[in-house]
Structure 1
Amino acid sequence: MKLIPTIQSKKIVAFFLTITLFFVGAFYKLAILSPVSAGTFTSRSVTITDSRASATSVTYAYGFTTTVTTSIKQIDFKFCTQAGAWGDTCTAPTGLSTSSATRDSDNIAGTGRTDSAPAANSFRTVITTPSTQSTQAVTFSIGGMVNPSTTNTTFYARIITYSDTGTTEIDSGEAAFATLTSTSVAVSATVLENFSFSLAGVNSGGTVNSATTDITTTAATIPFGTLSSGDPNIGAHDVTVTTNAGSGYIVSAKAAADPPLSAGSNNIDYFSGTYASPAAWSSPNGSSQNVNTGFFGYTTEDTAHSGFQSNKWARADTTARAIVTNSGAASAETTRIGWQAEINVLQPAGSYTGTIILVATPTY
């Protein structure tokens, strides 16, 4: 429930910041079936840039390792509601569409590319002049995808390569992804592993990086309430991850828009500290309305990001930045992250809103 306090004067401003996050139901167990007659890709994964059901212009970034050096003439992708091998029954996810999809990039050996979408749930690239393919990590990115419309559901992306145009199989495999509700965000997962990610609110009177919280957050909101000049408000969240991914995971954060908070034509800007050089909090000192007359920033207690220690803060811009990092498996590992907002006397009155997107990505 959005709680937007009533504005009390021209020198105070109320706003409500929502957080959308990717939440994978605890411990998806994804069974992959491999064809007997050909190889199976290793280190298979797919990362999508937005997990919201029916989201458009989504990028699906694939990663896998080939098993042989055979030249790849054709690579096909097929999206299904059920796990299985390439030739098994495949039901197209409702709402998913490749009709506007484009190949953004790939590192398959060879020159010349012809892309097509043979069906609403498939995508194909034919390499004009293929070359010997090293048994290396292959990347393939498809942009312009439309997500399935079914919420809170796991789907499967089947992948197959051919040495010719669709007859002689080289390798195949499968990776999984999930859509959540219309307020959810990007999700990534690697098959055959367990992964869960959650966010919990923190009460007023807690601490984050030595700073004291003075608002109570929920799992999906940062209700800063009414801001007064010279009086910063601080909130926090606890990020909890469980995974058996051998190479660990990262949790990244970004603002959905620039500027991060707005009320009509008015805005609250990013804090001056940067991700590369977090800084001690300083009050906004802008002398023109909407130009550094309000600041919003974040911090993290993750010791892997030591620049944030000792109460340092950074700007929450539209570039995804890792705020929690772990290099190995984790069991209910919890890390606290914080949010701070402050205005000066020139900030225009209004009810300011914005969205922070959190994305968790395990690597197996």
Structure 2
Amino acid sequence: MSGHAIAAPPTTFEFVVGDRPDQLKAGSNPKLRSHLSKRGWQVYLLQHNDEASSSSSSASAPVKKVDQQREDRAKRKKRKRLQHTVTWELPAPNDPESQGTSNNALVQSLMRANAARTAQTMTIDYQLGGGRVDPFRSYPAPWKPYIPHLVDHYIVHMAVDIPELDEPGEKGLLRSRWFRLATTEISTFQVVLLLSAGNYITVKGGIAAEAGFEMEQLRFDAIKSINQAIASPSACSDSIIGAVAKMASFESMHGDERYFRLHMDATKRMVTMRGGLYNLGLGGLLRRMLIWIDLNGGHLMNTPRWFPGHNFAGSEEEEVEPNPERFIAI
């Protein structure tokens, strides 16, 4: 027996919880038995290494070694999780280690094909936090591969800060209030996708088919979903009124006066059934959105206003002027 004092086991505690007294007996609770067994082995290892070593500091080495191994395993697992990309090394055309001209031609062909595929896919602008994709695909409309791209484009390029719609000290209400509402109703969401697709083609100069969507199909889906929503018991809800009004804004942006009038007439009827603009929700945002569409859409189509005398702040002294550039989001 060595003359050195036996090192005390680590002073850490683990609580075992049970709702019956018999669960706390040493022989009946598996977790408690495992805990006591582990502590017993730690004491045994401490005593054994204390007797075999001339230094008391070496008594906890096996325990520290086990802890170090456990920590190393955890770090390796974490590194594996972070390794989310895989790369392949291809010989460059001028690489002396390349195996002849046939391999170089193959590499160049693959690179050209990959560049062509990349050019045909819709690029995502990463300004203002672009690249948002809902991993759960919880959108109300049937899933389509182009939905994340159009949603991202709408949030980044269309649902921007607009002083006429926002409130003092609170910007971005189109993102925080309106878009959140749009994701709860299929007709509203379909109109948002249509607006985003039309703006994408205008701003990016792209072709819809190459981007993975068809404008006529998106327009058909939006109108069909609106017709179904109007026939439902919630026909005068904020989301459906917003969908019809946004459909009117789409028609004004793309120059169809007849359909612009049709959707604005429907919007006004639903607002009347709700008791007026001031009974709409979203904290007054929906009222301001309708005035915004009425003012700018009428300006583009050269039509009289559907809600004359109404302005954004609600004060009679305020003068409202159209802003077609911001309205079209160009």
Q: Answer whether TM exceeds 0.5 for this pair.
A: no
Q: TM-score interval w.r.t. the shorter chain?
A: under 0.3
TM-score with structure 2 length normalisation? 0.21
- Higher strand proportion: 1
The structure with the larger Rg is 2
